[in-house]
Amino acid sequence: MNVSIEKAIELLESGEPVAFPTETVYGLGADAWNPGAIKKVFEIKGRPSDNPLIVHIASKAMVNDFATEIPEAAVKLMDACWPGPLTLIFRKKPEVLDLITAGLDTVALRWPSHALAQELIFRAGPLVAPSANTSGRPSPTKASHVTEDFGNDFPVIDGGATQIGLESTVLDISEQPFRIYRPGFIDKSKIEKITGEEVILQKKNTSGQETRSPGTKYSHYAPEAVVRWLEEGETPDQKNALYLLHSLEGKEDEHHIHYHQNFQQMASELYDRFRQADHQQLDTIIIEPFDERARKEHPITEALLNRITKAVGG
């Protein structure tokens, strides 16, 4: 159900979650100081309670309500990237609700750039906002995706299709060296350039590291269809399959989507393609792997690789 900003604020203030657009994906927002509202977020998504939430803010001043230490590098990153698709993990203040942080001593903060998100947070206050999908489903990049997962009666502010289409970069700056737990539009080399420090791209979580970013251990972003990589030398002619290609020459039709090296567009459409394939009851989604050149020239392929690998089941 499409709601206005005014209605959304009213709902948030009465402790009800509301979905809203950001520049990355739609978020399921709830008042970051209301434990009852936050519990509803976990229930609606079917989200495990050990997976912490990002607090969405709309000014640098709001950081001080949640974070204790604000390292020099964080100031540089906030100046360069906020508002925008970068989530920073800080040491938390004791009053931050344990429900949000899953008992960790850190809190994730992000100032989204989407105008509707900024207005909502500015007027309603800081909001926790996981992606507005049922846990395990692809993140929503359109209001209709939210409705698909939560039903027609669920309130959503419709801001059209989101621009970036993949979730924000999650960067832990609470400890040295800095670590990227989830790659996104703001890539490693950009962060290194801004901070002047080396950053580690955390690969798969091994058991010892699980508690540092619990969300990364869950399988995510998966449609019903099987997702797999195109094999070397394989011709793209499997029946009832959707091909997502970027370099391979060949036919282009509704089952063969060709991005011609436009990886930003691929990122912005990926989750919608996943969902559409399910609507069309296709059995397989087959994606052309990224070669070394694509990875070097198009840093967004790191984020794409991360999400696709999870959908493949890695």
Cβ-contact 268, 163 below 8 angstroms: yes
Contacts of 94 (CB under 8 A, 6+ apart): none
Interface pattern 49-68 for ligand TXA (x via CB under 6 A) = --xxxx--------------
Q: Is 84 in the site for ligand TXA (CB under 6 A)?
A: no
Given the complex with ligand TXA, which of 38 and 242 has the nearer CB atom?
A: 38
Q: Is 170 in the site for ligand TXA (CB under 6 A)?
A: yes
Chain position whose Cβ is nearest to ligand TXA: 215
List helix spans (H) across 167-222: 188-195
Q: State the CB neighbour count (10 A cutoff) for residue 108.
A: 27
Q: Which residue among 155, 165, 214, 223 contacts ligand TXA (CB under 6 A)?
A: 214
- Nearest CA to 67 out of 80, 81, 51, 78 is that of 78
Cβ-contact 285, 223 below 8 angstroms: yes
**Least CB distance to Mg ion at residue 22 (A):** 12
Residue 284 CA to residue 286 CA, distance in Å, equals 6
Q: Could you say which of Mg ion, ligand TXA, none residue 213 binds, taking C-beta under 5 to 8 angstroms by partner kind?
A: ligand TXA
Given the complex with ligand TXA, which of 185 and 243 has the nearer CB atom?
A: 185
**Least CB distance to ligand TXA at residue 123 (A):** 18
Q: Which residue among 12, 71, 74, 106 contacts ligand TXA (CB under 6 A)?
A: 106
Given the complex with ligand TXA, which of 160 and 250 has the nearer CB atom?
A: 160
Written as six digits, the tokens of 111 are 């100032």
Would you call 227 helix, strand, or coil by DSSP?
strand
Binding site for Mg ion (CB under 5 A): 131
**Least CB distance to ligand TXA at residue 87 (A):** 5
Given the complex with Mg ion, which of 149 and 158 has the nearer CB atom?
A: 149
Contacts of 237 (CB under 8 A, 6+ apart): none
Residue 158 CA to residue 156 CA, distance in Å, equals 6
Residue 242 CA to residue 256 CA, distance in Å, equals 6
Residues that bind ligand TXA (CB under 6 A): 22, 24-25, 27, 51-54, 87, 89, 101, 104, 106-108, 110, 112, 129-131, 167-168, 170, 181-182, 213-216
